[in-house]
Structure 1
Amino acid sequence: MRQILLFNKPFNVLCQFTDEPQYREQRQTLADYIDCPGFYAAGRLDRDSEGLLLLTNDGQLQNQIADPKHKLPKTYLVQVEGDISSNAISQLKTGVVLKDGTTRPAQAKKVNEPKWLWPRNPPIRERKNIPTSWVELTITEGKNRQVRRMTAAVGFPTLRLIRIKIGPYQLKNLPSGESIMQEIS
């Protein structure tokens, strides 16, 4: 039976089931949250990012989700340092020049801080004289740390990054550290 597991990955959790021996006692992995033999992550989410991670027991589905050639859209909520400008949003929409090339155009819009959002542990750094703002950003490629590099390139460094959607799969109201299994037809 083909299944997919939607997992709300907490901050500071490695996106793998094992860790290097010297770190085993210090860092959490997927094994601290998920006990489903035969399931593997379909894509990655950096340790300092949160939100939706998909795992599956179907190699073909895993490839369709993870392989950039399928251009599966991924949507993020991004808390940035500063009050993001309409010019920065326009740059994100048209593509941002990074060291490894220009990004594809993204869907981007300024949004209010979500009311349903769980607190991050530890909290983000706050500066008295610098506000923060939120952006909803959808990309169709997966360069290394792309969202963080995009917001930094337009002058608004990422403070918190939460993936809320991958293709048709959505985080919705799944609590941090929890998962839900779905059968795939």
Structure 2
Amino acid sequence: MPQHYLIFYKPYGVLSQFSPEPGSSHPTLKEFIPIPDVYPVGRLDHDSEGLLLLTDNGRLQHFLSDPRYGHRRTYWVQVEGQPTPTQLQQLRQGGLKIQNYLTRPTLVQHLAIPPDLPPREPPIRSRAKIPTAWLELTLREGRNRQVRRMTAAVGLPTLRLVRCQIEHLSLAGLTPGQWRPLTTQELRSIQPTR
């Protein structure tokens, strides 16, 4: 039986699971992905958007989810306020205490031009006297709500969070709610080497 490898542009408000939460009105992956028995590699919270990889290959799922392999995950993050060089350096150097762990060093850049994204529904809150900025963060670890906690720890609350890449896989060509199978070349690029 062939295995499935999908890339999905998860919209805001969608749960990264196929079963609904009791009492929740949030849509699930079931409303977008008609292929049975695939599961997300990692998660995106309901209030985050972007790239979600799904597969029925348990070995690959474990390989890409296990933090010891240090796979790159890149996020576009709209934050409240304008980042200072000190705040950017705090994010880059790692060592931010978040709950019971210290973050690893992170690649961070301030994006002078916001990423080309579709409008979010509902739109983020807007405050006339408080500017916003976009950052690009690349992590090699993935803990629960880590990006939001990191930016909050340096005084830059996250307003919008979009995962744009996992390793070399990107959202290119997809709009929120769309999915497609991985190409052979994309699949080769994320396979375990041993």
TM-score (norm 1): 0.94
Identity %: 47
Per the alignment, residue 123 of structure 1 pairs with: 123
Q: Where in structure 2 are the equivalents of 1:4-83 lying within 5 Å? A: 4-23=5-24, 26-83=25-82
Return the alpha-carbon distance in structure 1 between the equivalents of residues 88 and 148 of structure 2. 14
2:145 is the counterpart of 1:145: yes
Return the alpha-carbon distance in structure 2 between the equivalents of residues 153 and 34 of structure 1. 36
Return the alpha-carbon distance in structure 1 between the equivalents of residues 49 and 82 of structure 2. 22
Per the alignment, residue 2 of structure 1 pairs with: 3
**1:109 alignment partner, SS class:** strand
CA RMSD of aligned residues (A): 1.2
Return the alpha-carbon distance in structure 2 between the equivalents of residues 123 and 14 of structure 1. 18
* Matching residue's letter, 2:7: L
Return the alpha-carbon distance in structure 2 between the equivalents of residues 8 and 133 of structure 1. 23
TM-score (norm 2): 0.90
Per the alignment, residue 106 of structure 1 pairs with: 106
* Equivalenced residues, count: 182
Q: Where in structure 2 are the equivalents of 1:149-164 lying within 5 Å? A: 149-164=149-164
* Matching residue's letter, 1:168: H
Return the alpha-carbon distance in structure 2 between the equivalents of residues 6 and 148 of structure 1. 23
Return the alpha-carbon distance in structure 2 between the equivalents of residues 72 and 80 of structure 1. 24
Return the alpha-carbon distance in structure 1 between the equivalents of residues 40 and 23 of structure 2. 23
Return the alpha-carbon distance in structure 2 between the equivalents of residues 27 and 161 of structure 1. 18
Structure 1: state its 5+ residue gaps: none
